[in-house]
Amino acid sequence: MSHCKKYADALKPITESKGIKVTYKSRLTHIDRQNRVATFKDLTSGETTQQSFDFLHVLPHISAPDFIKKNSELVHKSGWLDVNTATLQHNKFSNVFGLGDVCNLPTSKSAAAVCA
């Protein structure tokens, strides 16, 4: 099971119980702060929708930088920097250490997971 799916599965009942609408594969195109309305473009259909909000949590697309994930000896099969999860030292290059969301750590890539 991917880390993303693991966290999504754990957070789904919480968002449902609190009536929180979760939307994937969409791009935030505009925020009207005064009226508390966000406009989104659905990346599959191309349609735009508006959503009123009290609290808005938006995540950018999260991935390792191209220099790590594309044609690099630094990448783990998961697409993140290949580090020892206990030491953050690279598994192949002893002079490379990773820090933060670029690493193949078994953690969510969003601080929202710790706030739920």
pLDDT per residue over 47-79, tens digit each?
A: 999 999 998 877 777 888 999 988 899 999 989
Q: Using a cut of 0.75, tell me whether the model's pTM lies above it.
A: no
Q: pLDDT digit string (tens) for 9-40?
A: 888 899 999 988 787 788 999 999 999 999 99
Reported residue count of the chain is 116
Listed residue (105, 104, 28) closest to 68, CA to CA: 104
Three-state SS at 27: strand
Three-state SS at 57: coil
Supply φ then ψ for residue 3, to 5 degrees. -60, -40
Kindly list the domain boundaries of the chain, sorted by start residue.
63-116
